[in-house]
Amino acid sequence: MSNLDRQAPLTVCGGRGFVVAEPVRELLSPRCVQLGESTEVRRLLPNLGRRMVGAWAFVDHYGPDDIADEPGMQVPPHPHMGLQTVSWLHEGEVLHRDSTGSLQTVRPRELGLMTSGRAISHSEESPRPHARFLHGAQLWVALPDAHRHVEPHFEHHADLPRVTAPGLTATVVLGELDGATSPGTTYTPLVGADLALAAGAEANLPLDPDFEYAVLAMSGEVHVDGVPVLPGSMLYLGCGRSGLPLRAASDAGLMLLGGEPFEEEIVMWWNFVARKDEEIREAREAWMTSDRFGEVKGYDGDRLDAPEVPAAHLKARGRVR
């Protein structure tokens, strides 16, 4: 998914200097952003006070939206580099097209994973016709320097491993959780899991104390380590946890995001993750004037123009302001 802000802000993040090395309970509020014609998203990362969770660098939550009489998601062709995009749905469908020739409809609890590497472009749209409701999350994973120029590719995994306990089903989206490993390709130690809790369920989810974690609330009423987390908000949990207490007051859905703290400092602007100011400016120019990012075929509409890069020199710094 694209960052469609026309005044795209510079985001500087990464490095271990700002990682919280102990358990915390830091509630992050979203910023509302209009995405396309009829989809509003709640942006949790990057956040005013927290830029990354492991290699997770961008998190949008949207819906549930009634799009029965609306076009639904309509994101025109746009570029990416230096990151992976993760499409995750609870309701609805998203049709993915990209410049490698991929054409795939992603459905609820199926993994759509696009690795941009050196350069890719893609579009996302609600199929025609489409389901009445649209509800999901779009996430980015920053690629480490050793792998950020890999060949672009797209993966679709409809069958993902699950971990179960009384009242809890955890679908492993990326990485590993409690011995279950997703088939999705990863380049740093991380985990992404979709948690479904039944009303009244209490569970203690096993965690890796070397990872930092956050929980995104998708639906329902749930307490995470004693903190009520409302849908569309995120609770940052820090490091040093071997387990995470969960208690559901109603049927609830969460996403657990975690990983080894991302050591490298990065520059993130619009839809690009880089290390230097010059790389961002070169990528922006390439999207506007060359074929570096390829062509998305079959999308009915124009591609996105890139906003102007801020005049100030872009410098990679730490994970928080």
What is the mean pLDDT, run by run of 10 residues, along the chain of 321 residues? 55 56 92 74 89 96 94 94 98 98 98 98 95 97 98 98 97 98 98 98 97 98 97 96 97 98 95 96 98 97 94 69 46
Q: What per-residue confidence (pLDDT) applies to 235?
A: 97
Note the pLDDT of residue 219: 98
Nearest CA among 187, 181, 246 for reference residue 213:
246
Gap between the terminal Cα atoms of the chain:
25
DSSP string, 41-61: EEEEES-SS---BTTEEEEEE
How large is the C-alpha radius of gyration of the chain? 18
Beta-bridge partners for 124: 75, 96
| pLDDT of amino acid 240 | 96
Task: Work out the burial of residue 320: count CB atoms within 10 Å of its CB; fewer than 13 is exposed, 13-18 middle, 19 or more buried.
Answer: middle
**What's the CA gap between 222 and 205, in Å, rounded?**
14
3-state per-residue secondary structure call for 82-99: CEEEEEEEEECCEEEEEC
CA–CA separation, 11 and 280 (whole Å): 12
- Determine the Cα–Cα distance for residues 59 and 51; give it in Å rounded to an integer: 10
Partners of 58 in beta bridges:
140
Q: Can you give the pLDDT at residue 320? A: 53
φ and ψ of 146, to 5 deg: -65, -20
Token digits of residue 151: 């060949």
State the residue for tokens 């859905």: 253
The pLDDT of residue 102? 98
- pLDDT at position 188 is 98
On whether the CB atoms of residues 102 and 299 are closer than 8 A, the answer is no
